[in-house]
Amino acid sequence: MLTWLKRNSTDFPPLTCALHEPNGLLAAGGDLSSARLLAAYRHGCFPWFAQGQPILWWSPDPRMVLLPENLHVSKSLRKSLRKNIFEVTFNRCFTQVIQACAAPRGDEEGTWITEDIIQGYSQLHKLGYAHSVEVWQNHELVGGLYGIAMGKLFFGESMFSRVTDASKTGFVTLVQYLKQAGFVLIDCQMHTQHLSSLGASEISRSNFSSYLTRYLDQTTTMNWSSELKRLYDH
């Protein structure tokens, strides 16, 4: 039975209560306040719902993650990186990035990144938890991604790309900086071929929970300043 969250509480049901079908649906309702969103990530779940639906909270099993040391850069992407046709920044224009991620893609209608999602994560950005990666070409924003950093874990939310290899360049740059700063895991939530091609793989929900327990309250040396970032290696 699906749990409906109470407005006056940020508690979530145990992850073992998540449904098998649809995979990982844990709870519904509540709000997108900063307190509830942070509680959700600490608990191991995240919001994902379409316009017109109640807020839905998910904790899929298995969970798609990337260990920084497993980052895979294909030969074609390496070739693209060597051309240095992109510049990458962090936290320079969070609002533009999340709005670009919210734009419909291809033949899709609508988006799960609703105005309420944008407002909720923008507040987390102001509080220093949500971060954006921007990819520039000729001073134009052509790709990027955003997510949440807590302890030594980064929770990826969405990415967009307007030219070939733009989002991949942003992702590779981010992962290299996260690795240098001591991060141990990037949460990718659910399986996609795009993420798999970059080295992400699936782990059990219980294994993912063990990462939360061990690393959520540890510190890192991550520099989220908006200056230009360079790849450590190609």
Considering only residues 229 and 233, tell me which one the structure prediction assigns the higher pLDDT.
Answer: 229
Pair 139, 217 in one domain? yes
Pair 113, 199 in one domain? yes
Q: Note whether 201 and 65 are within 8 A (CB).
A: yes
In this predicted structure, the answer to whether residue 110 has a pLDDT above a threshold of 80 is no
Range of the domain at 121: 64-229
What does DSSP assign to residue 220? -
Pair 97, 201 in one domain? yes
Establish if 209 belongs to a structural domain: yes
Q: How many domains does the chain have?
A: 2
Q: Can you give the pTM of this predicted structure? A: 0.95
Residue-wise pLDDT for 122-142, tens only, equals 999 999 999 999 999 999 999
Pair 36, 96 in one domain? no
Pair 132, 29 in one domain? no
Establish if 186 belongs to a structural domain: yes
Element (H, E) at 37: helix 34-43
* Residue 97's CATH number: 3.40.630.70
Pair 15, 96 in one domain? no
Q: Note whether 119 and 32 are within 8 A (CB).
A: yes
Residue-wise pLDDT for 156-173, tens only, equals 999 999 999 999 999 999
Pair 35, 135 in one domain? no
Pair 169, 216 in one domain? yes
Q: Note whether 12 and 26 are within 8 A (CB).
A: yes
* Residue 38's CATH number: 3.30.70.3550
Pair 171, 217 in one domain? yes
Given this model, what pLDDT does residue 108 score?
A: 57
Given this model, what pLDDT does residue 109 score?
A: 56
Establish if 234 belongs to a structural domain: no
Q: 224 pLDDT band (50/70/90 cuts)?
A: very high
